[in-house]
Chain A
Amino acid sequence: MTLRLCACTQGLLSMLKRLRSSPDKELRILLLGLDNAGKTTLMKKLASEDVSHITPTQGFNIKSVQADGMKLNVWDIGGQRKIRPYWRNYFEFTDILIYVVDSADRKRVDETGFELNELLSDDKLAGVPVLVYANKQDLALAAKASEIAQELNLHLIRDRPWQIQACSGIRGEGIKEGLEWISQNVKKK
C-alpha cells in the first residue's frame, strides 16, 4: 500500500515537473559503438532501469528519456559486425551521436577507431556533434579518457563539436556530465 502511495506521489510530482518545464527540445540521439561496448547499459541507466541482465542487442532498442529539460529519443543499435552495415539506415535527423568505447578492450582500439572514422566521414552525419563515452572506467585495465582520445585521434576533428567523457555505465558515473555537454551544445546550435 505504501508502495502504491509512493508511486502515486512520484507520478504526480513528475507530472507537475513536466507541466512546469515542458521540454522544448526533443533530440534524436544515436548510440553506436562496437559490440560489448556498453551501449544498452548506458541507455538503460539513462532511463533509470536495472542494468544487471543486459543481453547482446540483436537489432536495436529505442527509448525516450527525460533529462536536463530535454526529451531524448535514444536509438541504441547493436554493435556486432553483422549489424554495422545497417547503422546507416538510422543516420537521418540525428541531433547527437554518442559513440561508446570499451576502455578496457585494448585489442580492438583500431577497430573502434576505424568504425568511428567511417561514421565521421559519412555525409548524412556531417556536422553532427559527437560525444565519446570512454566506458567501463570501473575496470582495473581501463585506459584513461585522455588515452582513448589520443588513440582515436579526436583532436583531428575540426568539422563539429566533440567531447570525450570518462564513465562507468554499470555504476552510473560520468553519464550526467556527458548529458550536460549535450544540453550546452544543443543550445548553441
Chain B
Amino acid sequence: MWFYLIRSYIFWHLRKVIKWFLRKTTKLCELQRICYAQPVGACRTRSVEQSLRNSSSPQIRGLITVLDARASDRNYYSGRSILVPNAVSTITRVKRIDHCEYERFTNVLGQCVDNIWSYMQLVEEIKTSAAIQYDCSNDVHEKSLLLLWNELMPNNKLENRVTKQWQDIGFQGDDPKTDFRGMGILGLDNLVYFASKYTYLARCALSRSMHPIHGYAFAIVGINLTSMALGLVVDGSAKTHFYNKRNPSEYEDFNEFYCYLFWEFDKFWLNAKPKDLMEFATHREQFENTIRQKLEKSNTVFLIDVPLDNTTDMLDR
C-alpha cells in the first residue's frame, strides 16, 4: 500500500522532470514528440490519449471533460467537424506550438483526437444497443429477426413466428426473443450483419455448427460472441484494433469486429475437435485468451480472411 503511494508520487515528479528536460533539449512538447516519433496507429493514439489525460493544464482538462461528456451522451459523432478543430486549436495554443510546425502536427493530432473520442462514443453506442430488449411489438426488431432466418435458410420457409424451426439455426427454444435477454438488440444486429454481409461465411459456419459431434448452437454461440466482443471493447483491450484502422470507429466497425470473431471462433472450435458442446466454456475462454494476446501486440488489426468479392462468386456457383 505505502509502496504504491510512494512509487506513484516519485513517478509523478520524475515524469515532470523528464518532460521539462526533453522540452528544453528538443524544443518540442510531449505531444509533438509522440506525433512525430511514432508511426500512425494504435501506439501513437494510445500515447496521445495518455498524455492528454495526464495533462495538468486546466484548459486541456476542460477540453477533455467536454469531449468525454459529448461521447458519453452519444453526441460526439454529430459534432466532430467542429469539436476536432476546436480541440486541436486549444491544444496548440496551450502548448505554444511554433507556427512552422503547425500543419504537420495538427493533422496528426486531429486524427488521434478523432480516434480516441469516436471509440469512446462507440462504447456508449454498443452499451445502449445491448440494453434495448427485444420487443415483439416492434416492427424493426421483428423484420430484422425474419431477415436473419431468410439469409441463413433461403430454401426453408419459416412456418410460424413461434416455431421449433428456430432451433435449426441454434436458438434455444421456439421463440428467439428470450435468448436476446442479455445482449439485447446488439446481439440481433451482430447476427443479422454477419448473415447479410458475409452470407457465404455465415452459411458455412451454420452448416458446420450442425455437425453431429463437433457442432454447436449457431445463434447461442453468436450471442455469446457478442458478449465477448462487447467486453473487449468496453474494457479497452480492443483499442489496438480500432485505433489501427485508419477511420474513426463507428457502429458498423463493431459489427465487422464481431464477424471477425465469429469466423475465427468457428475455425478455432473445429480445430479443437471438442468431444461435445459441453466443452464450450473451456474453448471460449481459450479463444478469448488468444484474441487478447493478439490485441497486446501494438500493430494488430483484424481483417476477416475471405475477401468480400469471393463470397458473392462462391454463392453464385
Contact = CB atoms under 8 A, between A and B. Distances in A.
B182 A83 contact: no
A4 B277 contact: no
B221 to A, nearest CB: 6
Nearest to A85: B276
**A53, A54, A56 pick with most chain B CB within 10 angstroms:** A56
A79 B172 contact: yes
Nearest to A58: B280
A140 interface: no
Nearest to A90: B278
Interface string A52-72: 111110111100000000000
Interface size class of A (residues with CB under 8 A): 20 to 34
B136 interface: no
B130 A53 contact: yes
A80 interface: yes
Nearest to B274: A59
A79 B172 CA distance: 8
Contacts, number: 70
B124 to A, nearest CB: 15
Nearest to A38: B181
A80 B276 contact: no
Given A4-B1, A59-B277, A80 B182 contact: no
A58 B224 contact: yes
A61 B284 CA distance: 12
B130 A58 contact: no
B179 interface: yes
B281 A59 contact: yes
A82 B217 contact: yes
A35 interface: yes
B298 interface: no
A184 interface: no
A35 B172 contact: yes
A86 interface: yes
Contacts of B187: 55
A36 B277 contact: no
A156 interface: no
B172 A61 contact: no
Contact of B277 (A8, A53, A56, A83): A83
A79 B220 CA distance: 12
B280 A59 contact: yes
B179 A36 contact: yes
B278 A82 contact: no
B269 to A, nearest CB: 11
A1 interface: yes
A82 B167 CA distance: 9
A55 B167 CA distance: 16
B183 A53 contact: yes
A123 to B, nearest CB: 21
A129 B5 CA distance: 52
A188 interface: no
B129 interface: no
B278 A59 contact: yes
Interface string A25-56: 00000000001100000000000000011111
A83 B278 contact: yes
A56 B5 CA distance: 43
A58 B179 contact: no
Interface string B175-207: 000110111000100000000000000000000
A58 to B, nearest CB: 4
Nearest to A81: B167
Contacts of A56: 172, 179, 182, 220, 223-224
B316 interface: no
B309 to A, nearest CB: 33
B224 A89 contact: no
A5 interface: yes
Contact of A36 (B5, B173, B280): B173
Contacts of B173: 35-36, 80-81
User: Which 10 pairs, one residue from A and one from B, show the smallest C-beta to C-beta distance?
Assistant: A59-B280, A80-B172, A35-B172, A36-B178, A58-B280, A55-B182, A54-B182, A59-B278, A53-B182, A56-B220
5 contacts: A58-B220, A58-B224, A60-B278, A79-B172, A86-B278
Given A36-B173, A56-B172, A56-B223, 12 more contacts: A4-B4, A35-B173, A36-B172, A36-B179, A55-B220, A55-B223, A55-B227, A60-B278, A80-B167, A80-B220, A82-B167, A82-B217
